[in-house]
Chain A
Amino acid sequence: GAVVSQHPSWVICKSGTSVKIECRSLDFQATTMFWYRQFPKQSLMLMATSNEGSKATYEQGVEKDKFLINHASLTLSTLTVTSAHPEDSSFYICSARGPRGLAGKTDEQFFGPGTRLTVL
């Protein structure tokens, strides 16, 4: 099946620093990637949708200047949490959706394993 990886799997940083999280589709081209975050005991919340080569579309209430998303290639999207603060500590998860014709798996989203961010 299609595989999505995330790096790093966990990160601890000091308040005020920026953290970059990578999301890669390993065996398919992802025309669309999604970024979610999940706080303890809550459901995933969609942050933004990004299509390769274009600007990301952010959900209401998500600060685009704080959460920078780059989707420069069909296999890589990055999320940068700028000037991170303790309230940004969360589980960040990406997903990727491929183009039609992907061996019958045209509409599923494939999720990465997540990145746990802790801001001290």
Chain B
Amino acid sequence: DAKTTQPPSMDCAEGRAANLPCNHSTISGNEYVYWYRQIHSQGPQYIIHGLKNNETNEMASLIITEDRKSSTLILPHATLRDTAVYYCFYGGSNYKLTFGKGTLLTVNP
């Protein structure tokens, strides 16, 4: 199974940027990095994915290092509703999601 490393928890002030790191040192050249999150008692939600270039969508930005061994998910203006467990994955086109513990992001007022 693809293995990633994330800090267990992080705190962020409301309105500030939340930067969530992920290490994926064993990623292969054709594997994408994916980020999902799970708000309490809900199904996980897709956030963003990328291969090499940085990506941005309406939810977040994804910064992938040049060697692709790590990435950072950026929520530019965190709100209380962004409090959730954030999961980082990597895989090819037929990837399976193996959930680790993720990072519990707590956005404080």
Whether A107 contacts B44 by the Cβ 8 Å rule is: no
CA distance A43 to B84 in the complex (A): 12
Whether B44 contacts A93 by the Cβ 8 Å rule is: yes
A43-B101, A46-B96, A46-B97 given as contacts; is B43 within 8 A of A107 (CB)?
no
B-chain residues with CB within 8 Å of residue A93 when the two chains form the complex: 43-44
Whether B46 contacts A44 by the Cβ 8 Å rule is: no
Q: Which of B43, B45, B97 has the most CB of A within 10 A?
A: B43
Whether B43 contacts A114 by the Cβ 8 Å rule is: yes
B68 within 8 A of A: no
Nearest Cβ in chain B — how far from A84, in angstroms?
21
Consensus secondary structure, chain B interface:
loop
Whether A45 contacts B99 by the Cβ 8 Å rule is: yes
CA distance A16 to B41 in the complex (A): 26
Q: Convert A54-68 into 0s and 1s, putting 1 for each residue whose CB lies closer than 8 angstroms to a CB of B.
A: 000000000000000
CA distance A95 to B46 in the complex (A): 11
A43-B101, A43-B102 given as contacts; is B44 within 8 A of A111 (CB)?
yes
A43-B102, A107-B32 given as contacts; is B43 within 8 A of A34 (CB)?
no
Whether B43 contacts A109 by the Cβ 8 Å rule is: no
A-chain residues with CB within 8 Å of residue B44 when the two chains form the complex: 44, 93, 95, 111
29 contacts between A and B (CB under 8 A): A4-B43, A6-B43, A34-B96, A34-B97, A36-B99, A43-B99, A43-B102, A44-B38, A44-B97, A45-B99, A46-B97, A93-B44, A95-B44, A100-B93, A106-B93, A107-B34, A107-B49, A107-B93, A107-B95, A108-B34, A108-B46, A108-B49, A109-B36, A109-B97, A110-B46, A111-B36, A111-B43, A111-B46, A114-B41
* Pairs of residues from A and B, 7 with the lowest C-beta to C-beta distance, nearest first: A111-B43, A43-B99, A44-B99, A108-B46, A111-B44, A114-B43, A93-B43
Point out residues on A near B: beta carbons under 8 Å: 4, 6, 32, 34, 36, 43-46, 49, 91, 93, 95, 100, 106-114
Point out residues on B near A: beta carbons under 8 Å: 32, 34, 36, 38, 41-46, 49, 85, 93-102
